[in-house]
């Protein structure tokens, strides 16, 4: 593992170099007077302290185990004995580990570049492990250019070139390329985009981001192409159709081929409809879908909404997961929010879910294919104090969770908010013995400093206890964070005003 | 006396006082000439005021020596030395004797004699009262209004303010007509009045007064009809007063104002700069057509941004996505695009899930402890933002959760025969499996070369289609083409 991490770190450092250089070049070649005409940005520095307790696979001689109801146990914990008959294995907790990770984000948009409607946007991110016993995910990837594009926005069209991403019913899709959107008519909008595809969730080209990360991942660049047409047959109603495909650079095959349809309408009355469905052409199956009907309650009581939902995870063709025929779930959920007793806002929800047939004969007792979820909560504002509380319970497949959260915010002066929060929950993993009970809380602050600076900081301590899991001793998890945001430039909208 | 009578009397008294003050101011401290005592001596007014009918100011008054002819201290008591006052036509009245005489002649009234204006009705010869008997003026020029400051043809008597010699301070001190105090005078009335009677406005106002508020003053005919002040007129500094028309008070005005926006509708009060308070980037056509603040005298309404009413809805958080999708340009009018990505960027820091506890990031503060149950819940697709291999599995590896192979036992210890039961939950939660297991773990069994050669494909799996889309991945499990 150590060698693996060292290799990955080295690889990421190398691939960070050209992007970092590119960013510096872009910033350097932009004429200073042009940048001076208008730029707005934020530099955000985040430092987090995290403690966690890893586990590790351990072995015990079969002779040291005790059979309880025919199940071998060690120190009260079930163990799995290997085929050789002499050795059993179990996971043991290790010492609590600590980590300090820092993230630096710099986002900026510049305009006034000599052409009306022309702007440039940049979002870069740096990460580093400052201290600790473990590597926080992706903190060894020290640099990301998340966004870096130029945009020409005019009344009836928009052209964007560079590193960018679209957000749609298909999720985030990042690419280095060109996006052209036109809305020639009030009721029509069309968009086409394409370019070198970025790995999902990684903001880097696929062959760079995924190289060596796992077997079967082709060391290939890919290109993404997509189009979107949106129609507004009448005010308040819009329907959009999107098609998107990713293809490997050598055209050996597709990474994905998907489409989606989105519909939103006020139905000409107080009821609003929001529906979406996506389709995976590669596997010829529906993916996620939802249909929500939302209506205000009469007499300003609040809002009620009912949602029907389908969920089937999406997997690229570049992995084998999608070929394993995942089973979808279907869910109905109702939610009501009451604002009648302002400043109290209260809400409650209930949902019922059923999984599709996994088409597999289960050896032994059946595994549930239903789950329910309920929640009730409220928020109350009284003067400078805001209190929030919510209780949720989720039962069914995979895990059981019963959780309660409270939070109180106090704003003694306009620029300072102090907060205290607490949480208690019980979590049971269906396929692991024992239940986890967590009780904890923390303090935080949110301070608006002169010159637009904002500092948020806090620390939380959670007592983690385990029931029916003897080897898991209770322990305390400490988390802390500090986030300093420094704005620079001028907000084109607010003109520097708060 | 009726209320109307009192008003008239008060007005006349005020006017008389003004005129008296003017006479006194002009004539210094000297006693007015006792015309009646000289009635038998001077049968004609023009005997002394010869130049008045012709407008010859040098002959307006008699020679000072004329008095000494009688008041020599012998025959008649002497009088103090007298000097004729400087001659000017009365202010702020637009009046010259020759013109007035000509006008009456033209009107068929014949030449008015001096007594018609300077001697009260029924008064004897030479019963001159000051310079003017106002009743006599109003006998012809009167009007039915209670006060002469309203609803009259001001230009009959008054010159335009731009031509006054009284000075800017005097102009600024003029009393307001009563209609100026009406609540909707600025927003509704004054424009109509200016269109109907621009001379009335011009009596007290110069064009500069209009230009100080009207952004589009150069395009308004009524304003052009009002003379501009000459440089010599020391006008005070005008401040702009804008009142919001009733349409602006509508609850949905912010959302709907674009439909009615035009130069004609907006340019009276608004410059491009006003609109740019909210409209960023590529301005709508109506905005682009407005004058720039630097090109006009009027400052325009200095707007401050306020959130549209839709933003104050209790459900705005839930609804704003649909609204943004329906009218994306409406959002970009006020919001820089980076404000969207502040929230809709999973890796961003400055956000929290709606309704969740405030935490340092997108997820609530204690999310790490409870995320496994949330992940099973799958309301959100974790992989939209997190790469399962690079993020989830990376962390699980650090925490010791990562599987080391197919037969790596012990983790799912609540299921003693997990290997025989894992298929059902795997198909229901494949994403969760992938956060610990690599593909190679599964291929150990689920491949044509694996130990059990278990097909992972469901009943509806279309092998031909998959082959057509990406044949390369088939060879992860098959040594040969699976479709023959």
Higher pLDDT, A30 or A196: A196
pLDDT at position A494, please?
A: 42
pLDDT at position A290, please?
A: 93
Any chain B CB within 8 A of the CB of A468? no
Give B 293-312 residues with CB within 8 A of chain A. Answer: 304-305
- Residues facing residue A163 across a β-bridge: A148, A176
Q: Which two tokens stand for residue A274?
A: 């929001």
Mutate to test the interface with A, among B357, B401, B423, B468 (most CBs of A within 10 A): B357
Task: Assign A241 a pLDDT band (cuts: 50, 70, 90).
Answer: very high
Give A 335-364 residues with CB within 8 A of chain B. Answer: 337, 339, 345, 347, 355, 358-360, 362-364
Q: Using CA atoms, how far apart are residues B186 and B184, in angstroms rounded to an integer? A: 6
The least confident of A178-192, B285-299, B377-391 is B377-391
Any chain B CB within 8 A of the CB of A440? yes
pLDDT at position B264, please?
A: 86
Name chain A contacts of B466, Cβ cutoff 8 Å. Answer: 282-283, 317, 323
pLDDT at position B359, please?
A: 55
- The single-letter DSSP state of residue B391 is I
Task: Assign A376 a pLDDT band (cuts: 50, 70, 90).
Answer: very high
Any chain B CB within 8 A of the CB of A154? yes
Q: Using CA atoms, how far apart are residues A170 and A158, in angstroms rounded to an integer? A: 21
Q: Which two tokens stand for residue B148?
A: 């002469």
Contact B473 A253 (CB under 8 A): yes
The least confident of A339-343, A385-389, B325-329 is B325-329
Summarised one tens digit per residue, pLDDT across range A242-273 is: 999 999 999 989 999 999 999 988 887 778 89
Q: Is B293 helix (H, G, I), strand (E, B) or coil?
A: helix
Angle between the B134-141 and B3-27 helix axes, to the nearest 10 degrees? Answer: 120
Name chain A contacts of B258, Cβ cutoff 8 Å. Answer: none
The least confident of A76-85, A191-200, B12-21, B43-52 is B12-21
Task: Assign A65 a pLDDT band (cuts: 50, 70, 90).
Answer: very high
Any chain A CB within 8 A of the CB of B469? yes
Any chain B CB within 8 A of the CB of A208? no
Task: Assign A309 a pLDDT band (cuts: 50, 70, 90).
Answer: very high
Peptide bond into A343 cis (omega under 30): yes
A410-422 residues labelled b (16+ CB within 10 A) or e (exposed):
eeeeeeebebebb
- pLDDT over 90 at A442, yes or no: yes
Name chain B contacts of A337, Cβ cutoff 8 Å. Answer: 314-315
Give B 417-446 residues with CB within 8 A of chain A. Answer: 417-418, 420-421, 423-432, 434, 438-440, 442-443, 446
Name chain A contacts of B440, Cβ cutoff 8 Å. Answer: 214-216
pLDDT at position A279, please?
A: 96
Summarised one tens digit per residue, pLDDT across range B219-255 is: 888 898 899 998 888 888 888 888 888 888 887 787 7
Mean pLDDT across A384-405? 90
pLDDT at position B471, please?
A: 92
pLDDT at position B280, please?
A: 62
Peptide bond into B92 cis (omega under 30): yes
Task: Assign A430 a pLDDT band (cuts: 50, 70, 90).
Answer: confident
Contact B430 A123 (CB under 8 A): no
In chain A, the N- to C-terminal Cα span, in Å, equals 50
Give B 309-348 residues with CB within 8 A of chain A. Answer: 314-315, 318-319, 322, 325-326, 329, 332, 334-338, 341, 344-348
Any chain A CB within 8 A of the CB of B462? yes
pLDDT at position A162, please?
A: 95
The least confident of A370-384, A413-427, B146-160, B340-354 is B340-354
Q: Using CA atoms, how far apart are residues A23 and A393, in angstroms rounded to an integer? A: 47
* A432 closest CB neighbour out of B369, B392, B413: B413
Q: Is the sign of the CA dihedral B266, B271, B274, B280 positive or negative?
A: positive
Residue (of A287, A233, A237, A299) closest to A265 by Cα position: A237
- pLDDT over 90 at A45, yes or no: yes
The least confident of A298-312, A455-469, B364-378, B447-461 is B364-378
Name chain A contacts of B385, Cβ cutoff 8 Å. Answer: 172, 201
pLDDT at position B182, please?
A: 84
Contact A462 B414 (CB under 8 A): no
Contact A483 B360 (CB under 8 A): yes
Give the distance from residue A21's alpha carbon to the nearest chain B alpha carbon, in angstroms. Answer: 22
Any chain A CB within 8 A of the CB of B383? yes
* B389 closest CB neighbour out of A90, A214, A255: A214
pLDDT at position A10, please?
A: 47
Share of chain B above pLDDT 70, in %: 74
- Interface confidence, given as ipTM, is 0.85
Task: Assign B470 a pLDDT band (cuts: 50, 70, 90).
Answer: very high
Q: Which two tokens stand for residue B344?
A: 């809709």
Residue (of A390, A168, A477) closest to B354 by Cα position: A390
pLDDT at position A412, please?
A: 93
Any chain B CB within 8 A of the CB of A452? no
Contact A362 B423 (CB under 8 A): yes
Contact A282 B369 (CB under 8 A): no
Task: Assign A167 a pLDDT band (cuts: 50, 70, 90).
Answer: confident
Give the distance from residue B412's alpha carbon to the nearest chain A alpha carbon, in angstroms. Answer: 5
Nearest CA in chain A to B446: A324
Mean pLDDT across A203-222? 85
Any chain B CB within 8 A of the CB of A51? no
Mean pLDDT across B158-177? 81
Give the distance from residue B222's alpha carbon to the nearest chain A alpha carbon, in angstroms. Answer: 35
Contact B391 A137 (CB under 8 A): yes
pLDDT at position B141, please?
A: 67
Contacts 24+ apart (CB under 8 A), B320-326: B322/A264, B322/A272, B322/A274, B325/A230, B325/A238, B325/A240, B325/A262, B325/A264, B326/A232, B326/A236, B326/A238, B326/A264
The sheet with strand A55-61 has its strands ordered as: A55-61, A87-93, A80-81
* A319 closest CB neighbour out of B348, B439, B461: B439
Contact A405 B413 (CB under 8 A): no
The structure's pTM equals: 0.66
CB pairs under 8 A between A and B: 370
Q: Which two tokens stand for residue B274?
A: 């006003």
Q: Is the sign of the CA dihedral B289, B290, B293, B296 positive or negative?
A: positive
Share of chain B above pLDDT 90, in %: 7
The least confident of A87-101, B5-19, B95-109, B369-383 is B5-19
Give the distance from residue B21's alpha carbon to the nearest chain A alpha carbon, in angstroms. Answer: 55
Summarised one tens digit per residue, pLDDT across range A14-39 is: 444 444 444 454 444 444 444 445 77
Give the distance from residue A37's alpha carbon to the nearest chain B alpha carbon, in angstroms. Answer: 13
pLDDT at position A406, please?
A: 93
Summarised one tens digit per residue, pLDDT across range B103-137 is: 788 877 777 788 877 887 777 778 887 666 666 77
Q: Which two tokens stand for residue A419?
A: 């907060």
- Looking only at the bridges linking them, the beta strands covering A157-168 and A171-185 are antiparallel
- pLDDT over 60 at A420, yes or no: yes
Q: Using CA atoms, how far apart are residues B242 and B396, in angstroms rounded to an integer? A: 64
Q: Using CA atoms, how far apart are residues A451 and A449, in angstroms rounded to an integer? A: 7
Contact B373 A400 (CB under 8 A): yes
Nearest CA in chain A to B364: A405
A196, B382 in Cβ contact below 8 A? no
A105, A124 in Cβ contact below 8 A? yes
Higher pLDDT, A209 or B17: A209
- pLDDT over 70 at B147, yes or no: no
Q: Is the sign of the CA dihedral B10, B15, B19, B21 positive or negative?
A: positive
């Amino acid at each position: 593992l150590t060698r693996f991490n060292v290799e990955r770190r080295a690889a990421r450092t190398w691939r960070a170099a050209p992007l970092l250089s590119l960013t510096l070049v872009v910033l350097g070649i932009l004429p200073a007077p042009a940048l001076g005409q208008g730029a707005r940005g934020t530099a955000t520095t985040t430092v987090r302290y995290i403690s966690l307790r890893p586990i590790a696979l351990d072995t015990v001689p079969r002779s040291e185990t005790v059979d309880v109801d025919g199940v071998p146990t060690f120190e009260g914990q079930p163990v799995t004995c290997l085929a050789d008959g002499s050795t059993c294995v179990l996971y043991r907790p290790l010492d609590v580990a600590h980590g300090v990770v820092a993230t630096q984000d710099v986002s900026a948009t510049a305009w006034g570049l000599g052409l009306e409607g022309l702007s440039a946007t940049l979002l870069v991110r740096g990460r580093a492990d400052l201290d600790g016993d473990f590597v926080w995910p992706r903190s060894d990837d020290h640099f990301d250019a998340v966004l870096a594009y130029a945009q020409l926005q005019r009344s009836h069209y928009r052209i964007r070139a560079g590193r960018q991403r679209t957000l749609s019913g298909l999720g985030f899709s990042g690419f280095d390329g060109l996006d052209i959107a036109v809305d020639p008519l009030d009721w029509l909008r069309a968009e086409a985009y394409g370019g070198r595809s970025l790995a999902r969730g990684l903001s880097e080209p696929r062959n760079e981001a995924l190289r060596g990360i796992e077997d079967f991942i082709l060391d290939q660049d890919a290109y993404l192409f997509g189009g979107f047409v949106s129609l507004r047959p009448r005010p308040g109603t819009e329907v959009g159709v999107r098609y998107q495909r990713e293809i490997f650079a050598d055209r050996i095959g597709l990474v994905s081929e998907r489409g989606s349809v989105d519909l939103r309408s006020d139905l000409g009355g107080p009821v609003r409809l929001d529906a979406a469905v996506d389709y995976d052409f590669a596997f010829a199956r529906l993916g996620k879908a939802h249909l929500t009907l939302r209506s205000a309650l009469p007499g300003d009581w609040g809002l009620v909404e009912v949602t029907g939902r389908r969920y089937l995870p999406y997997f690229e063709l570049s992995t084998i997961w999608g070929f394993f025929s995942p089973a979808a779930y279907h869910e109905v959920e109702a939610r009501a929010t009451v604002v009648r007793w302002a400043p109290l806002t209260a809400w409650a929800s209930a949902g019922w879910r059923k999984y599709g047939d996994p088409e597999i004969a289960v050896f032994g007792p059946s595994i549930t294919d239903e789950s329910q979820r309920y929640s009730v909560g409220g928020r109350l504002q009284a003067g400078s104090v805001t209190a929030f509380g919510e209780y949720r319970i989720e039962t069914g497949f995979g895990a059981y969770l019963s959780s309660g959260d409270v939070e109180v915010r106090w704003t003694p002066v306009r620029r300072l908010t102090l907060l205290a929060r607490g949480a208690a929950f019980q979590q049971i993993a269906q396929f692991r013995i024992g239940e986890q009970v967590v009780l904890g809380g923390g303090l935080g602050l949110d301070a608006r400093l002169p010159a637009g600076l904002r500092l948020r900081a806090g620390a939380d301590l959670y007592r983690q206890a385990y029931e029916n899991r003897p080897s898991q001793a209770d322990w305390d998890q400490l988390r802390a964070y500090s986030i300093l945001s420094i704005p620079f430039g001028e907000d084109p909208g607010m003109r520097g005003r708060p | 006396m009726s209320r109307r009578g009192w008003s008239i009397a008060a007005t006349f008294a005020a006017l008389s006082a003004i005129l008296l003050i003017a006479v006194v101011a002009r004539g210094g401290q000297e006693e007015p000439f006792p015309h009646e005592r000289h009635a038998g001596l001077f049968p004609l007014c023009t005997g002394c005021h010869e130049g008045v009918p012709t407008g010859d100011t040098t002959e307006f008054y008699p020679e000072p020596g004329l008095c000494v002819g009688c008041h020599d201290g012998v025959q008649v008591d002497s009088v103090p030395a007298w000097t004729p006052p400087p001659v000017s036509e009365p202010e702020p009245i637009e009046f010259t004797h020759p013109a007035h005489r000509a006008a009456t002649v033209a009107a068929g009234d014949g030449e008015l004699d001096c007594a018609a204006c300077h001697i009260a009705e029924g008064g004897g010869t030479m019963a001159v009262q000051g310079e003017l008997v106002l009743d006599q003026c109003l006998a012809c020029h009167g009007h039915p209004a209670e006060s002469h400051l309203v609803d009259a043809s001001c230009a009959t008597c008054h010159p335009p303010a731009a031509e006054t010699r009284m000075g800017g301070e005097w102009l600024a001190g003029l009393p307001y007509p009563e209609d100026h105090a009406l609540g909707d005078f600025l927003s509704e009335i004054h424009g109509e009045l200016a269109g109907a009677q621009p001379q009335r406005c011009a009596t007290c106002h110069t064009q500069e007064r209009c230009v100080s508020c009207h952004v589009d003053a150069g395009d308004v005919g009524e304003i052009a009809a009002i003379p501009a002040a000459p440089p010599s007129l020391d006008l005070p500094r005008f401040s702009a007063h804008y009142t919001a028309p009733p349409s602006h008070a509508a609850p949905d005005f912010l959302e709907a104002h674009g439909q009615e926006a035009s130069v004609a509708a907006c340019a009276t009060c608004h410059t491009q700069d006003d609109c740019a308070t909210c409209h960023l980037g590529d301005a709508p056509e109506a905005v682009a057509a407005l004058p720039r603040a630097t090109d006009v005298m009027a400052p325009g309404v200095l707007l401050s941004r306020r959130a549209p009413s839709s933003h104050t809805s209790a459900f705005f958080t839930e609804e704003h996505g649909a609204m943004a999708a329906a009218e994306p340009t409406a959002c970009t009018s006020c919001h820089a695009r980076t404000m969207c990505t502040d929230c809709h960027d999973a890796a961003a820091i400055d956000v929290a899930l709606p309704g969740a506890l405030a935490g340092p990031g997108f997820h609530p503060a204690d999310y790490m402890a409870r995320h496994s149950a949330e992940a099973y819940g799958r309301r959100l697709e974790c992989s939209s933002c997190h790469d399962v291999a690079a993020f989830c599995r990376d962390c699980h590896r650090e925490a010791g959760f990562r599987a080391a192979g197919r037969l790596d036992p012990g983790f799912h210890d609540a299921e003693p025969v997990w290997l025989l039961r894992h298929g059902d939950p795997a198909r229901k939660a494949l994403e969760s499996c992938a956060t610990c297991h690599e593909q190679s773990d599964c291929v150990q069994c689920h491949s044509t070369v694996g130990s059990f050669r278990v097909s992972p494909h469901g009943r509806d799996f279309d092998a031909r289609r998959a082959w057509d889309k990406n044949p390369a991945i088939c060879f992860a499990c098959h040594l040969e083409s699976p479709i023959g």
